[in-house]
Structure 1
Amino acid sequence: MNRIQALVDFMHTEADQGNQAFIENINDGHHLAYLSDLAYLKENETVIAKTLVADV
């Protein structure tokens, strides 16, 4: 989850510094997909963790 948040933070930092590519990405809402993924992971963290360490 930290990597996704770091990516979104980086996108905003680059856009704030005038990087046109990132400004366009933010304006197009690309960061919202990552924030949606982050919300899903947070909401399902316990289930995902249990599934990853479960004996199969």
Structure 2
Amino acid sequence: MSGNDLLRGGTGIVYDSVNGELFYNQNGIAAGFGSGGLFANLRNAPTLTASDFVVVA
């Protein structure tokens, strides 16, 4: 799945496993990230799964 597919799919957290960049997609299914965007760059691009995240409201 490409980054553009992830943005259109309403994904909240997008991880680029090639370069370790972690993005927040604030606006759901609308194009782009809204007021979100890159919020972390993980050194050595580790393998991540959904269980690596905890959402605190």
TM bin, normalised by shorter chain, reads under 0.3
Normalising by the residue count of structure 1, what TM-score does the alignment of the two structures yield?
Answer: 0.22
Name which structure has the greater RCO, CA cutoff 8 Å, separation 6+: 1
Greater fraction of residues in strand? 2
Normalising by the residue count of structure 2, what TM-score does the alignment of the two structures yield?
Answer: 0.22
Which of the pair has more CA radius of gyration? Answer: 1
Greater fraction of residues in helix? 1
